Chains A and B, each alone.
Chain A
Amino acid sequence: MGVVAESTPPLVHIEDVVKRFPGVVALGGVHLDLYAGEVHALIGENGAGKSSLIKVLSGYYTPDSGVVEIAGKPMHHSVASARSSGVATIHQERQLIPDLTVAENVVLPHWTPSGVWVRPGELQRRAAAALATLVSGVNLSAPARTLSPAVGQMVEIARGLAQNAQILIFDEPTTALSLAERERLFETIERLRASGLAILYVSHNLEEVHRLADRITVMRNGRTVESAPATEFTTQRMVQLMVGRDVRALPAVNEQLGETVLSARGLSRGRRVRNVSFDVRAGEIFALVGLEGSGRTEVARTIFGIDRLDSGEVWVHGRKVDLKSAASGIEAGIGLVPEERKLDGIFPILSVRENISISLLSWISRLGVLSIRKDRALARKSFTALDIRAGSTETEIGNLSGGNQQKVILARWMNRECAVLILDEPTKGIDVGAKAEIYVLIKRAAEEGAAIVLISSDLDECLPVANRFGVMRAGELAAVLERTEISKERIISIATGDHERTVA
């Protein structure tokens, strides 16, 4: 950890910043001081205002009132001006232009340092220089789309350095990274800190915050709640400040298990799914864990029916499922909450009500004609059962927070009382408060007799709730472990292949 001399003035001074939008106050009085040579973590629930603050600092938003000073001078609120003042943002999602080369992505938009003509050699040299300190072995002439998310991230950091950034903002940088890549990123950040950059690190992951941060600012409801050296925070305290109340512990494991509901036998699909077999009983939560790319989502999609199996069978309640499409999987009583809400889950323009009933149209209609009364009743029931927070059932679902959107998708399947419910990273991108609520709902579904398959990359979350754990590696089910046999280390070692033992 670095030590910052607090007698030097902060590189970025934010005081009392307010930003309003029609109907909502995004920032209601934010204070934050960012010093050169420190990593300053910014934490808070979804909707706390972190991304709005980032947008103010990067010149995208103009605050309605308050002070924003960079190097002692008031900031001009434009993107170009922020950039020339030395602010660079590394976003959660990659901002590379896929068909331009790596070198071009590093130097953009400054194709030439001056003048009109682009000299490729000079461009490559500038890009190589910027990239040299960060990552090696990258083909500068390859199109950016060939890069892995981790390397792409390095390219964006290089872009910032090439523009002489003094202030680097990282927005949830580790969501798409593997453990090893995460480590490399942390090392890079530590080096950047040592070279005098001011780093604002926004993350949901409190472990990372512990590891990296010199100081921490907690935001809640658009305001700064607390800003202090990292040593003054415990995880408990951070969560308390973020949520504003005591967060309930995750629910305990369900002990009452029934008969076998789901039987997967010999599932195979190319190289991604290789001869996977497992059973899940009613009321049981079967966690499917493993590294990214180990095939968990692929297994889920084949059981659901949306991807075709090369071979293998799926049985629900003793009946073989004819897996032609998602529709046939749903008919058989299988539900899938997909990993990518925006891509595969919600209908952004439609209302919450319509998003809930979309899987149940035949239940709320007769001869093809919808009963709006039944539709509304269903929505009301779902709102109360899952505590969905939205202005009304008619609100456009795009306006809801990630957590509430997830509840809507969950509602789809819980209304159908699925025999089998598969959840793929259900708490991804959801703030701490809502995560607990999701797990309560999952447990409720289990108690009501569903067989749950829970795909999760967050071992801390699923360890306490799951009955059994299937560890996948490279498309195969490497091991199935009971609660009594598990530990994080054991799972990780099986997932990475260090350890070849399988359990009887």
Chain B
Amino acid sequence: MTQTTDGALAVNEAAVTTRRRFDPARLLQDQGLIVVVLIFGLVLSLLSPTFLTPTNLMNLLLQASTLGVMALGMTFVIIGAGIDLSVGGIPAIVSVLAVGLVVRGELPVWFALVVAIGVGIVVGLANGFAITKLGIAPLIATLGTLSITIGLAFAYSGGTSIVPVPDFYNLLRRANMFGIPINIIILAVLAVVTHFVLTRTTFGRSLYAVGGNRQAAEMAGIRTNRVILFTYVISAVAASIAGILFTARLASGSPQTGIGIELTVIAAVVIGGTSLFGGRGNVLGTVLGAVLITMVTNAINLLGVPTAWDRVLLGVVIVIAALLDVFRLRIHERWMSRKAS
């Protein structure tokens, strides 16, 4: 250290540490969920010989992928300290439009897709507008759009499913790359993109700031309203994509698509380490959360768990994942004190 003329101490720039100190807490957070997933998987494989077979694992991933896509979108919203319930209704309106416009309206498939996703974007904008400009609480605003989208889906379809679906969806359902179903590929791609956006773009950085301390973000010059608005659009688009995937999977344009899924999506995100208070969240956690929740259903199906117990099982798994959050702090401290001595 040398002294400069105005008396302040100056540190040699090269000596400043920029490498992140190995932070076991962060690692354990992600790894923690991996541990839960692995342990659960281990238990399942002992109870059911089918669990670890490649076929079942692929089925599991496939089943988890639509939930995963929606959870990725929701991750943005929750990092921004918001919440989006309308994801329980967007797949429905997207599904009926994507099929109905072709089957009843006799419009080309690509057009129907554009309109369907467009509707999703409009819902996202409506959510964002209601929340940022009108100051309506996210829970209320998205509850409203949830109800409206489901209602519109039923109104448009007449309450019934629209079948059969155009061939495009059958092709989509069967599509795969190197034997991996396309849903899984889509999830993987979106996960990578989400990770990139969150960690390597100005939008992502601004989002963490807005979610972590909205006031400070405003004072630092971030256009917080724009950031929040965008998160709701992202979530809605993710739900729209999921709606298309659901449509292909069940081969019907149904107003019941994705009904009731909103809380499961939020659960997947929160189990994955994203805090409902905002400012914290990561992609790996979200994907693992979706996988874990799907594993519970898989377990129920393979083991023949009686109906009443499936909710109990899901609840137990969620509580364990939450306990892990508490544990990781203690383990972090113990690790730190081992370092200090």
Contacts and interface: CB of A to CB of B under 8 A. Distances in A.
* A touching B, CB within 8 angstroms: yes
Interface of A: 20-24, 248, 251, 304, 306, 325-327, 329-331, 336, 338, 343-351, 353-354, 357-359, 361-362, 365, 368-370, 372, 376, 379-381, 383-384, 387, 391-395, 412, 437, 440-441, 443-444
Contacts of B106: none
Given A349-B279, A387-B10, 5 more contacts: A346-B213, A361-B202, A394-B18, A437-B8, A444-B6
Given A344-B215, A358-B222, A393 B17 contact: yes
A264 B289 CA distance: 54
Contacts of A331: 221
Given A336-B219, A345-B216, A348-B213, A380 B18 contact: yes
Contacts of B217: 347, 358
A122 to B, nearest CB: 41
A325 to B, nearest CB: 7
Contact of A344 (B18, B205, B206, B219): B219
A22 B205 contact: no
Interface of B: 6-13, 16-21, 200-206, 208-209, 212-213, 215-223, 279-280, 333-337, 339-340
A384 B12 contact: yes
Contact of B17 (A248, A348, A381, A392): A392
Q: 6 closest pairs, A vs B, by CB?
A: A22-B337, A22-B336, A392-B17, A394-B20, A330-B221, A361-B202
Contacts of A362: 202
A483 to B, nearest CB: 20
A440 B17 contact: no
A321 to B, nearest CB: 14
A393 B213 contact: no
A372 to B, nearest CB: 7
B219 A440 contact: no
Contacts of B215: 343-344
B219 A350 contact: no
A343 B216 contact: yes
14 contacts: A22-B335, A22-B339, A327-B221, A329-B221, A338-B219, A347-B208, A350-B212, A358-B220, A359-B220, A368-B201, A368-B202, A383-B13, A392-B20, A437-B8
Given A347-B216, A354-B205, A391 B333 contact: no
Contacts of A380: 13, 16, 18
A336 B215 CA distance: 13
A387 B11 contact: yes
Contact of B7 (A304, A353, A359, A440): A440
B261 to A, nearest CB: 29
Contacts of B339: 22-23
A344 to B, nearest CB: 5
A372 B338 CA distance: 31
Contacts of B9: 387
A325 B205 CA distance: 20
Nearest to A25: B340
